[in-house]
Structure 1
C-alpha cells in the first residue's frame, strides 16, 4: 500500500510549560519530519504560548478552556496533512514514532488509526507516584497490544480522511472523549495499539492528584459503558474490573470480624489476594523491572487505585440510576448507534 507521507502534528496544551519544550523538541527531531506542528493552547496561564512560538510551532487558541477533545478538534480544522498525529504536551516522542506510525497505517487498508505505548519510565522521574503510574500504565497498555476499541489520544496517528468521516471528538465528554471516539472508530476501522510507536509521559507526581483523576474518569465512563453495553476492548479488561471490585470488597469486609468473630478476618485477606492475582502478570513485570522493595510499594499503590476505580464506578452507577441530568449530559448517539 501507499503510505500517507504528509503529517500534521497537533499538540493540545493547557499550562504545559513544564514539558512542552521537551515535547516540541521530540517532534521537531523526528526521523520523518512533520509538514506542520500545531500547538492548540486551551487558555493557558503559564508561558506555554511563548515556548511554542520560540520553537517555531503554529499556535492557535481556544476561545475558552474546553478540554483536550475540543483542542484536538480545533487543531484538526487547521491541519493540512494526510495524517493527523496527536501528542499531548506532557509527552516526548521517540525519534521514530511518526515513521513507525506511518508504516503501521500503510500496512493494512482497514487500519484507521494507530496509538502508541508509553515507556515504563516517566518523562520526569520526580516521585515514587510517577514511577508507579508509568509502570502500571505501560503494562496495562502493552498487554493490550493489537486491535483495540480504546483510543489512546496522547500518542495517536489517525488518517485525516478517517477523522473527517467520523467527525470530531465529542465536546460534551470532557474527560471521557477518548472512550467514545474509540468506540466510533473501531466500528468502521481497525484501531491498532502498538509498541512500535513510543513516547515518555510526565505522569502525575502526587497521589491525591492521580486518585482524583481516576475517580472522575471512572465515574464519567459509566454512562458510556451503560449505553454501549460493553467495556472497551483493551486496557480495561474484565480481570482488572474484577480486581477493582475485590479490592473495594476487601476494604468493606474489614468490619466483618466485629460481627462474625476473628475467623472473618481471613475474608479481607483473601479478597486482597484475589485482587492481586487477577492482574498477576503486572506484578511479575514490576518485580523484574524494579525488584522486590518497589514491588511492595507498587502493590499498596495499585490496591488504592483499584479501590478508587471501584468506588468511582459505584458512584457513577448511582448517578446513572438517580439523575436524569447525568444520563442526558453524557448522552452521545455515537455510543448508542
Structure 2
C-alpha cells in the first residue's frame, strides 16, 4: 500500500444554524465513514441557536462545540486540535461532497511535495435563479480552469495535511474575525514553506447557497475584494491564476472602458458606436465563459451573465485600485483586519 493510500482522513465541517442543511450534506460523509474511506466526521457547532449539534450527533457525526461563536476558521482550528486523521478535509455545511472525494484527495497527496488540495463546485448548484446559478457556476469555472499549482487555498471543499496545518498555525482568526479570506491567507503561508497546493478539478461538491445580488455584492466587496486586495498588495502583488490572472486583468480593463463609455453616452451621444464595439469585444473576450453559461442555461442566461460580469469586473478592479491608493499614497499599510460589525 502506498503512503497516499494509507493516509487517514478526518472530515471537518464547521456548522452554524445548519440544522436544515445537515439532512443533505451529512449522509454522503457518513457513508464514507461507514465504508472506511474516512476515519471520522467532525461537525463543529459554532454556538448554533437551532438543533444543529443534536441532529449531527443523531446522524452519526462526532460533534464538538466552540466556546463562543467565532466563525468557521475558529471552528476548523478547534477540530484540528482533536482530529485523528493524517489529512484534514474541510467541507462547508452548505456543500454536498461527492462520494469520490477521498479518492481524489489521496491521489493529489501522492504527488511530490503536496501539502494541500482543493476542488470546485459541481455544475448543478442548488439555487435556481439566474443570478445564483451564475455565481456558483462562475466559481466552478475559475477553479476548473485553474493552473494545477495554486498559491491560495479554498476551504469549501479542500484538504490539508494535518501536520502542515499545525506547523503553519492554522487559520488566522485574529486578523479575520468574520468569514472572508482566511483560507486564501492560509494558502499563502503553506506555499511560503516551499510546499505545494494543487487544484484537483475532480474533487467536487454541490453548493446549496442561494445567492442574491445584494448578498453577493456585500460578500464580493467586503469579504473578498477588499481583504484579498490588501493581502496581495502587502505580500506579493497580483498572482497569475484564478480570477487574478493576466487575462482576467485585461478583461477587467475592457469592462472599465465599456463602463466609462456608457457613463459618457448621455453627454456624447455620438459615442454609441464605440460603446457597441466595446460590448462586442467584451463578449468575444469572455467567449469561453459565455459558452459555459449557455451550456447550463441557454443563450439568454449567458447574455445576462456576461453583462453582469462586466459590472463584477468594474467593482472588483475599482476596489483593487482603491487599495493601491490606500497603501501607497495614504500610507495605510496595516489594514488587513476584517472585524465584526
Q: Per the shorter chain, which TM-score range?
A: 0.7 to 0.9
Match in the other structure for 1:180? 185
- 1:137 maps to 139
TM-score under structure 1 normalisation? 0.88
Give me the CA root mean square deviation. Answer: 2.4
Deviations 1:187-243 (A, max 9, x none): 321111112211111233312111211111101112111022332453122222332
Cα deviation 1:49-96 (Å, max 9, x = unaligned): 232122122222223332222221111112111111111111001111
Specify the alignment match of 2:57 in structure 1. 53
Does 1:20 find its partner at 2:25? no
Matches of 1:67 and 1:308, distance apart in 2: 26
8 Å Cα contact 2:117-2:199 kept in structure 1:
yes
Residue 65 of structure 1 aligns to a residue in which SS?
coil
How big is the shift at 1:292? 1.2
Task: Give TM-score, length-normalised by structure 2.
Answer: 0.87
- Give the CA deviation at 1:143: 0.7
Aligned positions of 1:1-337 closer than 5 A = 1-3=2-4, 4-30=6-32, 32-106=36-110, 108-122=111-125, 124-171=126-173, 172-173=175-176, 174=178, 175-187=180-192, 188-216=194-222, 217-236=224-243, 237-259=245-267, 261-321=268-328, 327-330=333-336
Gaps of 5+ in 1: 332-337
> 2:77–2:171: 8 Å Cα contact kept in structure 1?
yes
| Runs of 4 or more consecutive aligned structure 1 residues displaced over 3 Å after TM superposition | 266-279, 314-324
Distance 2:240 2:20 in 1: 33
Paired with 1:170 and 1:266, the residues of 2 have a C-alpha distance of: 50
More deviation in 267-276 or 298-307?
267-276
Which residue does the alignment assign to 1:334? none
The 3 A distance-change label for structure 1 pair 136 and 64 is same
Q: What is the alpha-carbon distance in structure 2 between the residues aligned to residue 322 and residue 59 of structure 1?
A: 49
Q: Which moved more, 1:299-308 or 1:314-323?
A: 314-323
Alpha-carbon offset, residue 285 of structure 1: 1.9
Distance 1:129 1:257, change over 3 A: closer
Partner of 1:335: none
How many residues of Structure 1 are paired with residues of Structure 2 in the alignment? 328
Please state how far the C-alpha of 1:322 moved relative to its aligned partner: 6.6
> Gaps (5+ residues) in structure 2?
none
